[in-house]
Amino acid sequence: MKTKCQKVVRVKLFRRFLKAKLSRNMRSFLDLYYGRGSEEFETNESFQMIFSCWALLGIKPLKPYGFLRSLHVAFGCICLFMCPVFFAVGFMQVTQNSSMTIILTTLQATLNALGLPLKTFVAYFYIDRLRSVEPIFKSLDGRYQNPHGRFARREHVIQSAHLFVTLLALYFAYCTVSWLTSIFTHTQPLNTWLPLVDWIPHSTTQYWLHFVIEVVYVYFLLINQGMNDVYPAVYIKALRTHIILLADRVSRLGENPELTDEDNYKELIDCVRSHQELLQISRAVGSVFSITIFIQFTIAAAILCVCMLNLFLFADTNHRAITIVYYGCVLMQTLLTCYQASMLEVDCEKLPIAIFHCNWWNMDKRSRRLLIYFLHRAQQEISFVAVKFFKINLGTFLSIAKFSFTLYTFMNQMGVGENIKHQLD
């Protein structure tokens, strides 16, 4: 009995210790959003909200593993990987007895649902690779303990939290507009197929139960979608922050008269090592989100084309509002990552300029030789390619948008919309 009591006490003490440790090491989301708390912010804190959401959704299993947590993961995976079936079957049912506006509104959501499980599975399968760069970022943070470095990390964490909130707010706005419109028209927001609920004979009970479950389910899917779309942008922004800090550090090489030639050489070696670590991070994270961005690129043009057909040819006032918000959501799915990737390419161009304009003439011959090597390596920009097909930047984003508009124009000139309207009439 005594041994059992001692074990219980030890478990309680361990839980208190773990809780106290987590409270010291992890800020709340509001602290991250407003930049509150201690002045020492870490780059890894910008990833904290993403991994927390994945844990909440059951994508990232929590330790220690147990029955309830395993059940949580299993339920989340079933809801996620069954969404293409629920949306596809619902779309096929809608095509039988609904207007073209509702058919296209359901189709544009169904296309996005088809790629969601695959993108989430990629993030789940490579989540250890994403976590593997955290020690490298922690090492890089330790090299910039001056006020400028601390301020840059703090701004990165705050802006990442703002990106997180902005994207989810836009996605939630789409779902909110959809279910508000559905209440007034007494229809379902996205017409998903819910087999057990749809078999309820009482029409009022069936409608409201289907409505509530579908709205909650869509919010769940939108959070998943938001995490898949925001994490590449946050990781690229972290790379941008450290590239800018490295360029600023390199530009001040050789300016301190108190440092000896040996000190300057060690400082230069540390700069080269920092650049190599940034390249290592870019290879690790780029291999993960290049797959998810490729999936989104392949379906984005079709979704945008369907949105424009619905918006300009078929949609009434209510569905036109839904389509406009959804169109913005689809653009944001790739815009954030493409913008950050393009800005990273611009920031990488500043690094060789900083090397060239450093105070190299006050450095010894050994340091100058290393500077030439560093200058040559720094000209290799950090860029990302979606599965060796599309370069991830704003140029590709605009090409996708242009292609969708060209496809819509072609279908419009061929009279596809008018023919469908004529057949429906």
Average pLDDT, the chain: 83
Does residue 356 contact residue 250 with C-beta atoms inside 8 Å?
no
The pLDDT value recorded for residue 64 is: 64
**Is residue 156 one of the residues assigned to a domain?**
yes
Alpha helices (H) along 252-260: none
Provide the pLDDT confidence category of residue 17 given band limits of 50, 70 and 90: very low
DSSP, collapsed to helix, strand or coil, labels residue 106 as helix
Does residue 175 contact residue 215 with C-beta atoms inside 8 Å?
yes
CA–CA separation, 11 and 93 (whole Å) = 54
Task: Please compute the mean of the pLDDT values over residues 165-185 and round it to a whole number.
Answer: 89
Q: How many helices (H) and strands (E) does the chain have?
A: 16, 2
Domain limits for position 113: 33-424
User: What tens digit of pLDDT does each residue of 45-88 get?
Assistant: 889 888 888 888 887 766 666 777 778 888 888 888 889 999 99
Does residue 334 contact residue 290 with C-beta atoms inside 8 Å?
no
Q: What is the CA 11 to chain-centroid distance, rounded?
A: 37
**Which of 131, 128, 165, 145 lies closest to 42, judged by CA?**
145
Q: How far is CA 236 from CA 68, 240, 241, 338, in A?
A: 35, 6, 9, 10
As given in the structure block, the two tokens for residue 21 are 């440790």
Number of domains, the chain: 1
Alpha helices (H) along 310-364: 317-356
Beta-bridge partner residues of 386: 390
| Residue 371 or residue 14, greater confidence | 371
Is 116 a residue whose pLDDT tops 80?
yes
Supply the DSSP symbol for 312: I
**Is residue 159 one of the residues assigned to a domain?**
yes
The pLDDT value recorded for residue 4 is: 46
Is 5 a residue whose pLDDT tops 70?
no
Does residue 369 contact residue 267 with C-beta atoms inside 8 Å?
no
**Is residue 356 one of the residues assigned to a domain?**
yes
**Is residue 15 one of the residues assigned to a domain?**
no
Beta-bridge partner residues of 374: none
As given in the structure block, the two tokens for residue 17 are 């210790």
**Is residue 44 one of the residues assigned to a domain?**
yes
The pLDDT value recorded for residue 61 is: 67
DSSP, collapsed to helix, strand or coil, labels residue 391 as strand
Q: How many CB atoms lie within 10 A of CB 25?
A: 10
The pLDDT value recorded for residue 222 is: 92
User: What tens digit of pLDDT does each residue of 91-114 get?
Assistant: 888 888 777 888 888 888 898 898
Residues 6+ apart with CB under 8 A from 390: 293, 294, 297, 396
**Is residue 130 one of the residues assigned to a domain?**
yes
| Residue 320 or residue 134, greater confidence | 134
**Is the pTM above the cut of 0.85?**
yes
The pLDDT value recorded for residue 412 is: 67
**Is residue 3 one of the residues assigned to a domain?**
no
CA–CA separation, 390 and 408 (whole Å) = 22
For a pLDDT cut of 90, what percent of the chain falls above it? 24
The pLDDT value recorded for residue 15 is: 44
**Is residue 388 one of the residues assigned to a domain?**
yes
CA–CA separation, 356 and 94 (whole Å) = 63
Task: Please compute the mean of the pLDDT values over residues 220-249 and round it to a whole number.
Answer: 92
Beta-bridge partner residues of 391: 385
As given in the structure block, the two tokens for residue 77 are 């995976």
The pLDDT value recorded for residue 16 is: 42
Alpha helices (H) along 186-202: 195-198
Is 411 a residue whose pLDDT tops 80?
no
